[in-house]
Amino acid sequence: MNPVNLRERNKAIVRRAIEEGWNPANLAVIDELYAADFVFHQESGEVARGLDFFKTWIATIHGAFPDIRYHIEAMYAEGDSVATRYRVTGTHTGDFRGLPATGRAFDLSGHLIHRIADGKKTEGWGIWDTLGLMIQLGVIPPIRLGGGAPPPDDTAANIAATRRLFDALSSRDPEILPTAIDELMIPEFVTHGDALFPLVYGRDALRQAIPRFKAAFPDATATIQQIFAEGNKVMVYVQVNGTQEGEWMGVPATRQSMRWTASSIIRFNSAGKMVERWVIEDELGVMQQLGRVPRFPGQGE
């Protein structure tokens, strides 16, 4: 099996174990996907050996938090190892390690690393925010390292920076957008895209794509339809309008007016710089307007 296929197979094993085994407490799936001599390294540094221990943990956690759910946020793989970042949510309605039910809900994060051999998990390392759990269950009071004031709410500044980026995209001045990118983004800025442009690393790579886009749509405008922020992320939905005056996606200039939509989630760091974004554009609609892909039966206008 080639390395890419192996990574994807291993990710699928971990995903299935969480979604079909952990979440519903399905021990048959645990038996199928875990080696009998599975070894687990706990956040305390202690090592648990054997699948029976892990099954007991699944039963314990579901007894304390019957509605517990693990939500996978990201997965990374190399060789025989898979790392997973997740959120875990639930409500404390049963005894947990001697702690009587509090009736409180929690929403925490955690990381996992698993090693896989012959289609089964053989070893795991896990840590989740147990301090956060105790705080959210009301067992201990909130703790802030250093006792400083909470960080300032920068959502308004982050929204303003996002608006500046899309205003720059709409400018016909060739220097406006590159300047905005340089000033608003860190050099290591990462774009997670869609099927056509899945991943772009670095601010410079983004800058290099601008001349080609502007040559194709010199009058392009990006009009914000919705924008809001929570924490360090800004959610924005835009409508793009432009006339195809140059080659785009292999299609020579058609001189036709085009319109499509795009949605981005942009993450900012504490200095107010953009560090990462997740974007999806209506690439199908673009390709259909260019005549490269036909409309399909039942597709809405």
Does residue 214 sit in the same domain as residue 86?
Answer: no
pLDDT of 147:
52
CATH of the domain at 79: 3.10.450.50
Domain annotation covers residue 294: no
pLDDT of 247:
92
pLDDT of 270:
87
Which amino acid is residue 146, in one-letter code?
Answer: G
Residues 6+ apart with CB under 8 A from 5: none
CB 51 within 8 A of CB 30: yes
For the chain, the distance separating the N- and C-terminal CA atoms, rounded to the nearest angstrom, is 44
Cα–Cα distance between 122 and 36 in angstroms, integer?
8
Q: How many C-alpha atoms does 201 have within 13 Å on its Cβ side?
A: 0
Q: Using alpha carbons, select from 290, 285, 265 the residue that is nearest to residue 276.
A: 265
Q: Which two tokens stand for residue 42?
A: 């706990």
pLDDT of 87:
92
Could you count the other beta carbons within 10 Å of the beta carbon of residue 166? 20
Q: What is the DSSP letter of 150?
A: P
Domain count within the chain = 2
Distances (CA, A) of 178 to 8, 174, 184, 210: 36, 8, 10, 8
Does residue 205 sit in the same domain as residue 262?
Answer: yes
Last-in-domain residue among 97, 129, 147: 147
pLDDT of 298:
58
Does residue 178 sit in the same domain as residue 58?
Answer: no
Q: Using alpha carbons, select from 278, 295, 275 the residue that is nearest to residue 287.
A: 295
Does residue 275 sit in the same domain as residue 209?
Answer: yes
Cα–Cα distance between 38 and 89 in angstroms, integer?
25
pLDDT of 254:
92
pLDDT of 78:
87
Does residue 226 sit in the same domain as residue 254?
Answer: yes
Does residue 171 sit in the same domain as residue 262?
Answer: yes
Domain annotation covers residue 299: no
Q: What is the chain's percent helix, strand, coil content, to nearest 5?
A: 30, 35, 30
Domain annotation covers residue 83: yes
Cα–Cα distance between 89 and 257 in angstroms, integer?
47
pLDDT of 203:
92
Query: Which structural domain, as residue segments, surrounds residue 81?
Result: 3-147
Residue with tokens 């400083």: 148
Domain annotation covers residue 50: yes
Last-in-domain residue among 98, 119, 147: 147
CB 202 within 8 A of CB 185: no
Q: Using alpha carbons, select from 273, 272, 221, 213 the residue that is nearest to residue 242.
A: 221
pLDDT in single tens digits along all 301 residues of the chain: 677 788 999 999 999 999 999 999 999 999 999 999 999 998 878 889 999 998 999 999 999 999 999 999 989 988 899 999 999 999 999 998 888 999 999 999 899 999 999 999 999 999 889 888 988 999 888 766 555 555 556 889 999 999 999 999 999 998 999 999 999 999 999 998 876 667 788 899 888 888 889 999 999 999 999 998 888 899 999 999 999 999 988 899 999 999 999 999 999 998 999 999 998 888 888 888 988 888 766 555 5
Last-in-domain residue among 124, 147, 170: 147
Cα–Cα distance between 284 and 224 in angstroms, integer?
20
Residues 6+ apart with CB under 8 A from 98: none
CB 206 within 8 A of CB 181: yes
Pairing of strands 34-41, 120-128: parallel
pLDDT of 209:
85
Polymer length of the chain: 301
